Structure 1
Amino acid sequence: MTSTMPTTRIVEVRAGILRKNDELARGLRSRFEAAGVFVVNLVSSPGTGKTAFLEWTLTALHQRGVRVAALVGDLETDNDAQRLARSGAPARQINTHGRCHLEAEMIEAHLEGWDLEATDILFVENVGNLVCPASYDLGEALRLVLLSVTEGEDKPLKYPTMFNSADIAMITKSDLAVACEFDREAAEASIASVRPGMPVMACSTRTGAGLDEWLALLDARRHEWAAQRAAARAAGITLAAVAE
């Protein structure tokens, strides 16, 4: 007879794992805040063009003198880290070896030896998955969810937890919208139904459409975070403490 773990026990184990991750994420958030690093967590399903989008972003910011770096998660290979390094920004690969998401512990381990105070923005490219990464806080200041026009307009309805946990939604591969018969209005309605008021943008790394607008919004969010950080420090508290 095959024994199975009771459902209540499974729930308890999962709750314990998430609780540990949240504690580590709080520590990371405090560490990032102290160093003045704005952290962006990129999440999406596989094939949205996440790495191409991040490579363009890193290259553009690096050329503008912004000190950027990236951590990129995949089950295996360091292909994406090599690709992102072409931007001129430091990039490190995190291999999860079967795990479908990044965890705060992985981020902490791969920061070893990195001078955070020499970094303005740290991008974390999560594993391509719209389920597991939604539950794992990585200490980020901003979570960006990407949705490709090739995926269909109802992805937010199918994966509401991920979209509800995000701060900005980016529709990628917009140059293929007509060919894919993508209905942007329907997609935005789906997003609004699970995350009312969340900004929705669209871009194409092939044509460059929408990318300058993305950088402008990123800059605005970063400066808003910096102002909040300065106000918190003046009051003798931290943003991490305020968030709790």
Structure 2
Amino acid sequence: MKQIIIDKSILKNNDKIASKTRQLLNDKKICTINLLGSPGSGKTSLLEKIIVNIKKQYNMAVIEGDLYTVKDAKRIENHNIDVVQLNTNGACHLDASMVEKALTHVNIDNLDFLVIENVGNLVCPASYDLSEDMKVLVMSITEGNDKPLKYPSMFQRSSVIILNKIDIIDFTDFDKDEFYRDIYSLNKDIKVFEVSCRDSEGIDDLSDYFIEKIKEKKRD
């Protein structure tokens, strides 16, 4: 595992760098997702579940974004896939230059699926292009159903929402009908997966979705 310390929180020419990196990833036919969500939404736990299913068929790597620690990267590394830790030293998001640097430590010639797990935040990461094919937002039941309208940009720019911790919905006041009304008012084409990382409900369907996206990338 490589650990990279980022000295600058905001770097110039993000879109220009992202475009260059996207061309590289497209040339290599690597399906890339930007995994977003609040701290505690379950991003890393879900990623661990997905890795188990996908690594059986495809080579994958993870770029792990965090403020300071390497704890999440160590969890991912236990699954015997390539992982690069990006520490932002307090910055609330990853940017394209960070991803570009991380990719120098990944064997992209033997890669099918790249997951960029962003810093836990529902605001800043929505605005930064990381060369991904799609933004995937993890949201947990415990965060409350009001988050879409409070953080509309994140929901408008994401292609997929993973609604996690669905197993405990009966113990909360989460209004699922209102949640769906709100997200579709912001993004009528967004796809939603209801999952429980704890009991693996919905994980196979989610993994199959990503596998199909990998196949589509290979056909492009």
TM-score (norm 1): 0.83
Equivalent AA in structure 1 for residue 130 of structure 2: L
Residue 46 of structure 2 is matched in structure 1 by: 53
Matched-pair contact (CA < 8 Å) for 2:61–2:82: yes
Aligned equivalents of 1:47, 1:113: Cα separation in 2: 28
Residue 76 of structure 2 is matched in structure 1 by: 84
What RMSD over aligned residues (CA atoms) do the two structures have, in Å?
A: 1.4
Matched-pair contact (CA < 8 Å) for 2:35–2:118: yes
Report the count of equivalent residues: 211
Give the secondary-structure state (helix, strand or coil) at the position aligned to 1:189: helix
Give the secondary-structure state (helix, strand or coil) at the position aligned to 1:150: helix
More helix by percentage: 1
Equivalent AA in structure 2 for residue 43 of structure 1: L
Q: CA deviation at 1:137?
A: 0.2
Aligned equivalents of 1:225, 1:102: Cα separation in 2: 24
Q: CA deviation at 1:18?
A: 8.2
More strand by percentage: 2
Residue 120 of structure 1 is matched in structure 2 by: 112
Aligned equivalents of 1:162, 1:94: Cα separation in 2: 21
* Higher RCO structure, 1 or 2 (CA under 8 Å, sep 6+): 2
1:16-70 C-alpha deviation (Å, 9 max, x unpaired): x7871000000110010111111111001111011100111112212x1310110
Matched-pair contact (CA < 8 Å) for 2:14–2:129: yes
Q: Return 5+ residue gaps in structure 1 as ranges.
A: 1-16, 230-244
Residues 1:21 and 2:17 are matched in the alignment: no
Matched-pair contact (CA < 8 Å) for 2:31–2:213: no
Equivalent AA in structure 2 for residue 106 of structure 1: M
1:134-153 correspondence to structure 2 within 5 Å? 134-153=126-145
Matched-pair contact (CA < 8 Å) for 2:11–2:95: no
Equivalent AA in structure 2 for residue 35 of structure 1: K
1:203-236 C-alpha deviation (Å, 9 max, x unpaired): 0111110111101211222333333x2xxxxxxx
Aligned equivalents of 1:219, 1:157: Cα separation in 2: 31
Aligned equivalents of 1:220, 1:185: Cα separation in 2: 28
Q: CA deviation at 1:191?
A: 0.9
Equivalent AA in structure 2 for residue 24 of structure 1: I
Residue 25 of structure 2 is matched in structure 1 by: 32
Give the secondary-structure state (helix, strand or coil) at the position aligned to 1:177: helix
Give the secondary-structure state (helix, strand or coil) at the position aligned to 1:139: coil
Aligned equivalents of 2:144, 2:27: Cα separation in 1: 40
Equivalent AA in structure 2 for residue 25 of structure 1: A
TM-score (norm 2): 0.92
Aligned equivalents of 1:178, 1:132: Cα separation in 2: 31
Residue 4 of structure 2 is matched in structure 1 by: none
Q: Return 5+ residue gaps in structure 2 as ranges.
A: 1-9
Residue 6 of structure 2 is matched in structure 1 by: none
- Give identity over the alignment, percent: 36
Q: Which of 188, 204, 215 matches 1:196?
A: 188
Aligned equivalents of 1:184, 1:214: Cα separation in 2: 19
Give the secondary-structure state (helix, strand or coil) at the position aligned to 1:178: helix
Aligned equivalents of 1:178, 1:208: Cα separation in 2: 17
Matched-pair contact (CA < 8 Å) for 2:30–2:217: no
Residue 233 of structure 1 is matched in structure 2 by: none
Q: CA deviation at 1:89?
A: 1.3
Residues 1:108 and 2:100 are matched in the alignment: yes
Aligned equivalents of 2:81, 2:196: Cα separation in 1: 21
Equivalent AA in structure 2 for residue 110 of structure 1: A
Matched-pair contact (CA < 8 Å) for 1:154–1:187: yes
Equivalent AA in structure 2 for residue 118 of structure 1: N
Equivalent AA in structure 2 for residue 31 of structure 1: L
Q: CA deviation at 1:114?
A: 2.0
1:150-229 correspondence to structure 2 within 5 Å? 150-227=142-219, 229=220
